[in-house]
Amino acid sequence: MINSSIFNFNAELFSNENLISAFKIFLSKPIEYRTQFLQNKYVNAFDGYSFLGQEDSLNQYSTDQLHSFVFSEFTKVDSFPKEFETYLKTEFLEVKKAVTTLELILLESLNNPEFTAIYKKYFGHMMSFNFYPKVTDNNATERLSMHKDVSLFSVFPYGLDKGLAYQNTINREKNLGVKNAIFGFKGFGAQYFLDDKLKGLNHKVNYDLTDNNERFSLAFFSIPKPNTTFTFKGKTFNSETFYTTYLNLF
């Protein structure tokens, strides 16, 4: 499974109903309220809000057609918008536990107990929540540009609507389609920490002129905890250096 482009897990989806409702309420608020929660207000991993057209987001280009909010276990819940408080104190913890179990299954297939131990001690999770409104830019061909996620693994516990395309192992673009079960794929972290043996998946979200509907995407990312240093196979890794290396890809 670890060498596949896409990991298909035999696990039922979680419900995203409450979370989508919370995000819609947050997005309905004035921009003056929403920008209190930009990433530069947190400066902790990648946490915070990014809006469509923003020039200085850490996780999307200004031409990308989406709003996003990144929540991590590294930041206190009460510093996030009140709209998400109930989710972060309840469902987030449940889903994170399930995602961790699935990722440990992936790591066990590597037969590398040393890195599995590092994962358990030094890695944590953030969730990236994306909302794609109806596209109004007549020149848009993509909703989200081609990229690799920062994560060791990206896991989608809420499934996925159509639109995501990825480069398979022979670098041909393939549409993923609708996913009605939990799935995942490798991120930049997999190749960074595991000696480039596992390649992160290049992916994007296409814009279909015949299907200009709203779209939501929710993924859990496994990343090293902030201000963390560990040694693996004689090499020392630092979380802040890793974050910077990833951001330099853009």
Question: 116-155, pLDDT tens digit by residue?
Answer: 999 999 999 999 999 999 998 888 889 999 999 999 999 9
**Structural domains in the chain, sorted by start:** 7-247 (2.60.120.330)
For the cut 90, the answer to whether the pLDDT of residue 246 exceeds it is yes
- For 174, counting Cβ atoms within 10 Å of its Cβ (0-12 exposed, 13-18 middle, 19+ buried), the class is middle
Half-sphere exposure of residue 188: CA atoms within 13 angstroms, side-chain side: 17
pLDDT of amino acid 2? 80
CA distance linking residue 177 with residue 11, whole number of Å:
18
**The model scores a pTM over 0.85:** yes
For the cut 80, the answer to whether the pLDDT of residue 244 exceeds it is yes
For the cut 90, the answer to whether the pLDDT of residue 208 exceeds it is no
Which tokens is 129 given? 């929540």
pLDDT of amino acid 169? 72
CA distance linking residue 14 with residue 155, whole number of Å:
12
- For 181, counting Cβ atoms within 10 Å of its Cβ (0-12 exposed, 13-18 middle, 19+ buried), the class is middle
Residue whose entry in the numeric block shows the structure tokens 């990833």:
246
Sheet holding 123-132, edge to edge: 7-8, 183-186, 153-156, 215-224, 123-132, 67-72, 48-50
Residues 102, 106, 111, 112, CA torsion sign: negative
- CA 235 to chain centroid, in Å, comes to 26
For the cut 80, the answer to whether the pLDDT of residue 196 exceeds it is no
